Amino acid sequence: MAFLGSSPDTACIMKKIQAALLIVVILLGVACAQQGSSASDKAAKLVPPATGKINVAFILTEGSVMIDFAGPWETFQDVMVPMRGPKMDDQHVFHLYTVSDNKNPIHASSGMQIIPDYTFEDAPQPMIVVIPAQMGDSPKMLEWIRKTSARGNVVMSVCNGAFNLAETGLLDGHPATSYHTSYQTFQHRFPKVQVERGRRWVQSTPTIFTAGGLSSGIDLALHIVELYYGRDIAQETARTMEYEGQGWKRDGSAIANQRRPAAATNPSDQYKTGVLGNWQGKIVTKDRNHNIAVHIWPRKDGTLSGTLDSLDEEVNGIELNLVALTANKLRFSLRSLEGTYEARLNRSNSAISGTWKQNGKSLPLVLERINQ
């Protein structure tokens, strides 16, 4: 489930509370995601400068997600190319620095205070730009990203840094990815972008890349290292980091975050009578249809239990609370959402029709029985 009704970075840093925002986002009418097209062709090898270092600029603003920039930072800083010279400084081929609107201290997602090295006005010309998930999205930032990209430099986003990158228009008409719970919101906000799901990273253009969430940025950074200096150097960098991920060696198609699909085994699968069993429906707003599945089964003590899945955003198993059936009237709540569903089971036990209520708002929800 994408739960980005607030800011793009929250999906990366507040994973534990994302489920509590599902219906809130539904009531706000966030548009439905569409399946993106296939990934772009494999990137051509990047050419490093004959002398000097490759400047890597990390754009940081308030709320920058720590692992989104720290993972690639560690990756690039650990690269060593022995043939570049006998001195350690010669062999470290990347020069890293931070850039922001100003040099005022910013706080990363964990609260760490960081003072940017440069502003967008005085930063050295980069060859690589890294955009982590963050709260800032200033016109200066967007224009600086456009200018650096126009000069043929590599631009890579990590997690919901893809939202910032997409704001520049550079992803329009191209495939891209983001954090796995953000696909739906990302597609709604940027309908011209071809959102690809379940990817560690995606090559959008010959020099623009987007990574999935969190540790996916390490895979993408290693992939960039390989494009510059080859597989052996990238492998040695991974070994230096004791990083065992293999997603950087492939085309980015490794699953970013394995989640149980809605069709996986549920305790409800064996039931097909009354309200017991598996149900599927959609909450309809003026902007979209949000597809959900509900699973209900009996406990040993005779009471009812159940879960809810968001089919669009791949978050499953949200616990239902206080599931009760009186005659043909079904009622349950989702405590974390402070919402309730009240409905009636039809005579053929094939559909449940009712209303979801939350925060003073109501939306119709009809559930139809499915086999699994």
Indicate the pTM of the whole model. 0.66
> Quick check: do 10-249 and 267-370 share a fold?
no
For 250-277, what is each residue's pLDDT tens digit?
888 754 444 444 445 789 999 999 999 9
User: What is the pLDDT at residue 288?
Assistant: 67
Stretch 110-133: mean pLDDT, rounded?
96
User: What is the pLDDT at residue 14?
Assistant: 44
Burial class of residue 86 in the structure, from the number of CB atoms within 10 Å of its CB (0-12 exposed, 13-18 middle, 19+ buried)? exposed
CB 2 within 8 A of CB 11: yes
| Rounded CA separation 96/100 (Å) | 14
Q: Where are the domains of the chain?
A: 10-249, 267-370
Stretch 188-199: mean pLDDT, rounded?
90
Q: Is residue 280 pLDDT above 60, yes or no? A: yes
User: What is the pLDDT at residue 244?
Assistant: 94
For 295-322, what is each residue's pLDDT tens digit?
999 999 999 999 998 776 667 788 999 9
Stretch 66-80: mean pLDDT, rounded?
97
Specify which residues 297 forms β-bridges with.
305
Question: Which of 118, 161, 117 minimizes the C-alpha distance to 4?
Answer: 161
| Rounded CA separation 106/116 (Å) | 8
For 153-169, what is each residue's pLDDT tens digit?
899 999 999 999 999 99
Q: Is residue 293 pLDDT above 70, yes or no? A: yes
Least confident of 13-22, 112-121, 135-144: 13-22
| Rounded CA separation 91/367 (Å) | 62
C-alpha torsion sign, points 181, 40, 261, 69: negative
pLDDT-derived band of residue 10, with 50, 70 and 90 as boundaries? very low
The proportion of the chain whose per-residue pLDDT surpasses 70, expressed as a percent, equals 84
Q: Does domain 10-249 have CATH number 3.30.70.3280?
A: no
Copy the structure tokens of residue 258.
């394995």
Stretch 203-229: mean pLDDT, rounded?
96
Superfamily for domain range 267-370: Calycin beta-barrel core domain (2.40.128.20)
